[in-house]
């Protein structure tokens, strides 16, 4: 295993810049998740680590070794592909053994032992002798994992391998991958567009947008202190509430309809002049319901428009008189359709950003 | 067969159940009769003839006369026939093998090394153009190129001091296999090769363990098509050599033609046809079985 250092990685396809000056240090044994919407450059970054793409500029080191110009064969990596890329004409066992046969260093008995060992770890012993075409989606997934793990590579890469699975299986496999990764102390880079997957799996998230890194940090930091407006809106479910405001007074913001009076400590960061653009965000989990306007709190009068049941809680989509939609999370059954009242903002959970565009940096 | 299905798909012949049951037979009847008259009937007749001596035009055997297995006995003791089968084994076996192997390699090379899509399709088209020639025309052209002593290709080889093989019969590089292999390769996901690269496979290993096994079924198809072509390799032979010099390049089909349509020894020709037909079927079945076991890596 090794640490991975990506320095100033830029990859251009003609005039399209897929990744722009990306630098990431990945520790030995760390699970880093590259997350972002389609086309953000996360897969290009991963494929560059694998050697399947040649960077336009920048370098990639495994430990002290510069691997930038090495072929994938010479990098000691393994990768699980989005479409898994299992060899369809082989059995599961032959697929898993393939990297060892490619290596050609081990006698056949050792190969068989390694295959059985990794099959035990990934729960695919039962269908080792089946052909790939006869396996279910979840079984193929496990075989792909086993094939990637069997060689005990320096760096383990995963390109959205769970995207085609059903929810239950997806959760199960995520947990298994994390367990195996921790057990074996593997350096792993995982790519996904699913922010929930990123949050549950990663030691560290690298949130990417438009070929650049929007924020790097552990899941809690990224969730609680999004560094840019893009990160705030991309991470978290249901999506964060966003108010595109202008400064209207010392402590007051207005989005055209609502007058939002900030608590004193939050207002401290507003050193700009009246009329300057500021975005206020608050997560639905940090709004609470009140039937009467509470004193000394930031609260907005709304009526309940849609109620989505998710079991223990309800997601309520509310509307202000002027039609602004605000989403809150309340205990199941607490509210009914059309009910009127106030959504109260938790003053410690406000996120303020300097401007309205997605690159706007955090103020507080 | 469910009656409801006929209700949907057929114009109504009549409403009575009897009509409905009869309708399908009425519809395919003409085809069945035609097939029987032009294919199955004559086949059975020729099978019967193969046990008869029949030489229309001769005095002794104006009418078919039953002679048991005499025709077959004659056949298997006839040096000229044995020799023609050996020739065929050479053209059909070695020739098809070389054609399919070269065709496959050429297609893979085309796919791997010519990245420009337009250029690739253009080259592919050029390779395939000779298939469009009328066989007789192609035969004449090859004759000019490969004529021993005077043909362009052998002339060159002679200048270079190389042996001048008898080329006649090997058709340009198994065009079928080129097309088949190219189509197949274009449809195969690149991620398999990327996975193999990541898994540390060498080029040879990728070819041997991924490309070849996946190509197997198509190679079988290409080889069978080429074998059929080789079997029917009559017209070009007729144009180019007439089986000669002497009977050295004679193929079984040509020999059959001579027996049947020059000597008018219909019984013997029928026996020849049946032996050759069954022989090819058995050969192909054995080949197919063999390939199925080879493919399992």
Q: Domains of chain A by range and CATH?
A: 4-234 (3.40.50.300), 241-354 (2.40.50.140)
CA dihedral A60, A64, A65, A67 (to 10 degrees): -10
Using CA coordinates, name the residue in chain B closest to A102. B201
| Backbone torsion region of residue B264, taken as left when φ is above 0, otherwise alpha when ψ lies between -120 and 50, otherwise beta | left
Q: How far apart are CA B118 and CA A184, in angstroms?
A: 49
Q: Which pLDDT score is estimated for B97?
A: 79
Q: Which pLDDT score is estimated for A357?
A: 93
Tens of pLDDT along A100-128?
Answer: 999 888 899 999 999 999 898 888 899 99
DSSP state of A284: G
Which residues of chain B does A129 touch, with a Cβ-Cβ cutoff of 8 Å?
Answer: none
The mean pLDDT value for A315-330 works out to 94
Which residues of chain B does A102 touch, with a Cβ-Cβ cutoff of 8 Å?
Answer: 196, 199-202, 205
CA–centroid distance for A317 within its chain:
25
Q: Do A102 and B202 touch (CB under 8 A)?
A: yes
Q: How far apart are CA B108 and CA B184, in angstroms?
A: 10
Q: pTM for the whole thing? A: 0.74
The three-state (H, E, C) secondary structure of A54-94, written as one string: CCCEEEEEECCEECCCCCHHHCCEEEEECCECCCCCCEHHH
Could you tell me the two tokens for B36? 């029987």
Which residues of chain B does A89 touch, with a Cβ-Cβ cutoff of 8 Å?
Answer: 213-214, 295, 297
In a domain, B68, yes or no: no
Which segment of A76-80, A92-96, B58-62, B285-289 scores lowest on mean pLDDT?
B58-62
Q: Which of A351-355, B106-110, B240-244 has the highest mean pLDDT?
A: A351-355
- Indicate if the pLDDT at residue A197 is higher than 60: yes
3-class SS of residue A173: helix
Q: Which pLDDT score is estimated for A43?
A: 93
Using CA coordinates, name the residue in chain B closest to A103. B200
Whether chain A has a CB inside 8 Å of the CB on B198: the answer is yes
The mean pLDDT value for A334-339 works out to 92
Q: How far apart are CA A48 and CA B106, in angstroms?
A: 31
Query: Are β-strands A204-209 and A31-35 bridged in parallel, bridged antiparallel, or unpaired?
Result: parallel
> How many structural domains does chain B have?
1
Which residues of chain B does A151 touch, with a Cβ-Cβ cutoff of 8 Å?
Answer: 199-200
Q: Are A31 and A219 contacting, i.e. CB atoms less than 8 angstroms apart?
A: no
CA dihedral B100, B106, B107, B111 (to 10 degrees): 160
Confidence of residue B134 (pLDDT cuts 50, 70, 90): low
- Indicate if the pLDDT at residue B110 is higher than 90: no
- Indicate if the pLDDT at residue A71 is higher than 50: yes
The mean pLDDT value for A146-154 works out to 89
- Indicate if the pLDDT at residue B112 is higher than 90: no
Confidence of residue B66 (pLDDT cuts 50, 70, 90): confident
| Backbone torsion region of residue A311, taken as left when φ is above 0, otherwise alpha when ψ lies between -120 and 50, otherwise beta | left
Confidence of residue B189 (pLDDT cuts 50, 70, 90): low
Confidence of residue B142 (pLDDT cuts 50, 70, 90): low
> What mean pLDDT is reported for chain B?
75
| Inter-helix orientation angle A108-121/A92-103, to 10° | 130
Q: Of the candidates A25, A145, A23, A33, which has an alpha carbon nearest to the alpha carbon of residue A85? A: A145
Tens of pLDDT along A157-173?
Answer: 999 988 878 888 888 88
Q: Do B194 and A72 touch (CB under 8 A)?
A: yes
Tens of pLDDT along B200-241?
Answer: 999 888 888 888 887 777 778 778 877 777 777 666 666 666
In a domain, B183, yes or no: yes
Whether chain A has a CB inside 8 Å of the CB on B192: the answer is yes
The mean pLDDT value for A69-78 works out to 91
Whether chain A has a CB inside 8 Å of the CB on B212: the answer is no
3-class SS of residue A161: coil
In a domain, B69, yes or no: no
CA–centroid distance for B172 within its chain:
14
Q: Do B297 and A94 touch (CB under 8 A)?
A: yes
Whether chain A has a CB inside 8 Å of the CB on B278: the answer is no
DSSP state of B7: H
Q: Which of B188, B193, B194, B195 would you mutate first to test chain A, the one with the most A CBs within 10 A?
A: B195
Which segment of A148-162, A304-318, B61-75 scores lowest on mean pLDDT?
B61-75
Whether chain B has a CB inside 8 Å of the CB on A94: the answer is yes
Rounded (5°) CA angle A229-A232-A233:
90
- Indicate if the pLDDT at residue A2 is higher than 70: yes
Q: Which residues 6+ apart lie within 8 Å of B97 measured at CB?
A: B223
Q: Which pLDDT score is estimated for B178?
A: 59
Q: How many CB atoms lie within 10 A of CB B81?
A: 21
| Backbone torsion region of residue A298, taken as left when φ is above 0, otherwise alpha when ψ lies between -120 and 50, otherwise beta | beta
Q: Of the candidates A297, A58, A31, A325, which has an alpha carbon nearest to the alpha carbon of residue A179? A: A31
Which segment of A183-197, B121-135, B204-218 scores lowest on mean pLDDT?
B121-135
CA B280 to chain A, closest CA, distance in angstroms equals 29
Q: Of the candidates A165, A183, A157, which has an alpha carbon nearest to the alpha carbon of residue A26? A: A157
Alpha-carbon distance values, A1 to A97, A146, A303, A319, B114 (Å): 20, 17, 55, 53, 38
Whether chain B has a CB inside 8 Å of the CB on A105: the answer is no
Q: Show which of residues 150-189 on chain B sit within 8 Å of chain A, judged by CB atoms.
A: 189
Q: Do A77 and B198 touch (CB under 8 A)?
A: yes
Q: Do B201 and A73 touch (CB under 8 A)?
A: yes
Which residues of chain A does B293 touch, with a Cβ-Cβ cutoff of 8 Å?
Answer: none
Whether chain B has a CB inside 8 Å of the CB on A114: the answer is no
The CATH number of the domain where B193 resides is what?
1.10.3720.10
The mean pLDDT value for B67-89 works out to 85
Q: How many CB atoms lie within 10 A of CB A139?
A: 17
Q: Are A304 and A318 contacting, i.e. CB atoms less than 8 angstroms apart?
A: yes
Which segment of A250-264, A293-307, B177-191 scores lowest on mean pLDDT?
B177-191
Q: Which of A9-18, B59-68, B131-140 has the highest mean pLDDT?
A: A9-18
Using CA coordinates, name the residue in chain A closest to B295. A89
What kind and span of H or E run contains A213? strand A212-217
State residue A46 phi and psi, 5-degree precision: -65, -45
Whether chain B has a CB inside 8 Å of the CB on A108: the answer is no
Q: How far apart are CA A360 and CA A363, in angstroms?
A: 9
What kind and span of H or E run contains A16? strand A16-26
Q: How many CB atoms lie within 10 A of CB B117?
A: 9
Better-predicted residue by pLDDT, A161 or B151: A161
- Compute the 3-state secondary structure of chain B and give helix, strand, coil in percent, each to the nearest 5: 75, 0, 25
> What mean pLDDT is reported for chain A?
92
Better-predicted residue by pLDDT, A88 or B243: A88
Better-predicted residue by pLDDT, A321 or B183: A321
What kind and span of H or E run contains B112? helix B96-113
Nearest CB to A99; choose among B192, B194, B200 = B200
DSSP state of B51: T
Better-predicted residue by pLDDT, A333 or B160: A333
Domain that holds residue B233: 76-296
CA A64 to chain B, closest CA, distance in angstroms equals 21
Could you tell me the two tokens for A162? 């769970």
CA A346 to chain B, closest CA, distance in angstroms equals 49
Using CA coordinates, name the residue in chain B closest to A78. B198
Give the sheet arrangement for strand A313-319, strand by strand. Answer: A287-290, A340-345, A299-309, A313-319, A325-331
- Indicate if the pLDDT at residue B94 is higher than 80: no
Q: Which pLDDT score is estimated for B170?
A: 44
Which residues of chain B does A161 touch, with a Cβ-Cβ cutoff of 8 Å?
Answer: none
The mean pLDDT value for B267-271 works out to 90
The mean pLDDT value for A278-284 works out to 95
Q: Which pLDDT score is estimated for B164?
A: 47
Q: How far apart are CA B8 and CA B13, in angstroms?
A: 12
In a domain, B33, yes or no: no
Q: Which residues 6+ apart lie within 8 Å of A62 measured at CB?
A: A2, A3, A4, A75, A76, A154, A155
Confidence of residue B86 (pLDDT cuts 50, 70, 90): confident
Which segment of A1-15, A88-102, A210-224, B90-104 scores lowest on mean pLDDT?
B90-104
Q: Of the candidates A94, A102, A151, A143, which has an alpha carbon nearest to the alpha carbon of residue A123? A: A143
DSSP state of B80: H
Q: Which residues 6+ apart lie within 8 Å of B41 measured at CB?
A: none
Confidence of residue B168 (pLDDT cuts 50, 70, 90): very low
Which segment of A63-77, A85-99, B74-88, B264-278 scores lowest on mean pLDDT?
B74-88
Whether chain A has a CB inside 8 Å of the CB on B213: the answer is yes
Q: How far apart are CA B85 and CA B76, in angstroms?
A: 11
Nearest CB to A85; choose among B189, B200, B295 = B189
């Amino acid at each position: 295993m090794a640490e991975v250092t990506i320095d100033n990685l830029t990859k251009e396809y003609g005039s399209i810049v897929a990744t722009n000056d990306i630098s990431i240090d990945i520790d030995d044994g760390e699970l880093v998740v590259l997350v972002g919407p389609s086309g953000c450059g996360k897969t290009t970054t991963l494929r560059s680590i694998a050697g399947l793409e040649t960077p336009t500029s920048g370098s990639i080191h495994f430990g002290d070794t510069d691997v930038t110009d090495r072929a994938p064969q010479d990098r000691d990596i393994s990768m699980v592909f989005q479409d898994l890329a299992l060899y369809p004409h082989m059995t599961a066992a032959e697929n898993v053994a393939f990297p060892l046969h490619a290596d050609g260093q081990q006698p056949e008995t050792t190969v068989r032992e390694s295959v059985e060992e990794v099959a035990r770890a990934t729960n695919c012993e039962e269908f080792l002798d089946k052909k790939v075409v006869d396996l279910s989606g979840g079984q193929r997934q496990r075989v792909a994992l086993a094939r990637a793990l069997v060689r005990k590579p320096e760096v383990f890469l995963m390109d959205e391998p769970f995207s085609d699975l059903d929810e239950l299986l997806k959760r199960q496999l995520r947990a298994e991958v994390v367990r195996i990764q921790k057990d074996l102390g593997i350096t792993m880079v995982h790519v996904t567009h699913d922010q929930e997957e990123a949050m549950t799996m990663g030691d560290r998230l690298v949130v990417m947008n438009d070929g650049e890194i929007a924020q790097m940090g552990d899941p809690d930091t990224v969730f609680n202190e999004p560094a840019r407006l893009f990160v705030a809106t991309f991470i978290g479910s249901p999506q964060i509430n966003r108010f595109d405001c202008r400064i209207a007074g010392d402590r007051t913001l207005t989005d055209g309809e609502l007058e939002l009076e900030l608590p004193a400590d939050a207002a401290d960061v507003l050193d700009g002049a009246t009329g300057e653009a500021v975005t206020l965000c608050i997560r639905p989990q940090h709004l609470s319901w009140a039937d009467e306007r509470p004193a000394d709190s930031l609260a907005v009068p709304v009526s309940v428009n849609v109620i989505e049941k998710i079991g223990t809680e309800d997601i309520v989509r509310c509307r202000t008189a002027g039609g602004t939609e605000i989403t809150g999370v309340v205990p199941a059954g607490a509210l009914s359709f059309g009910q009127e009242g106030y959504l109260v903002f938790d003053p410690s959970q406000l996120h303020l950003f300097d401007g309205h565009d997605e690159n706007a940096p955090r103020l507080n | 067969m469910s009656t409801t299905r006929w209700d949907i798909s057929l114009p109504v012949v009549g409403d009575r159940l009897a009509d409905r049951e009869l309708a399908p037979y009425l519809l395919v009847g003409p085809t069945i009769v035609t097939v029987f008259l032009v294919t199955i009937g004559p086949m059975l007749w020729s099978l019967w003839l193969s046990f008869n001596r029949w030489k229309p035009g001769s005095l002794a055997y104006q009418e078919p006369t039953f002679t048991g297995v005499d025709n077959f006995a004659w056949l298997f003791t006839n040096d000229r026939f044995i020799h023609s089968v050996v020739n065929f084994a050479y053209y059909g076996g070695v020739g098809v093998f070389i054609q399919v192997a070269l065709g496959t390699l050429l297609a893979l090379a085309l796919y791997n090394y010519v990245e420009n899509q337009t250029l690739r399709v253009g080259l592919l088209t050029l390779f395939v153009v000779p298939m469009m020639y009328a066989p007789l025309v192609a035969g004449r052209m090859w004759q000019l190129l490969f004529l021993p002593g005077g043909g362009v290709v052998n002339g060159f080889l002679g200048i270079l001091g190389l042996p001048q093989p008898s080329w006649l019969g090997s058709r340009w590089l198994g065009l079928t296999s080129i097309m088949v292999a190219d189509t197949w390769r274009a449809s195969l996901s690149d991620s398999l090769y990327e996975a193999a690269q990541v898994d540390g496979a060498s080029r040879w290993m990728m070819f041997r363990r991924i490309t070849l096994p996946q190509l197997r079924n198509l190679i079988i198809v290409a080889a069978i098509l080429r074998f059929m072509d080789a079997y029917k390799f009559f017209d070009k032979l007729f144009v180019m050599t007439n089986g000669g010099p002497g009977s050295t390049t004679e193929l079984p089909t040509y020999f059959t033609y001579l027996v049947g349509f020059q000597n008018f020894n219909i019984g013997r020709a029928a026996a020849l046809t049946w032996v050759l037909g069954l022989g090819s079927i058995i050969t192909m079945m054995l080949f197919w079985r063999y390939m199925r076991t080879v493919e399992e890596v």
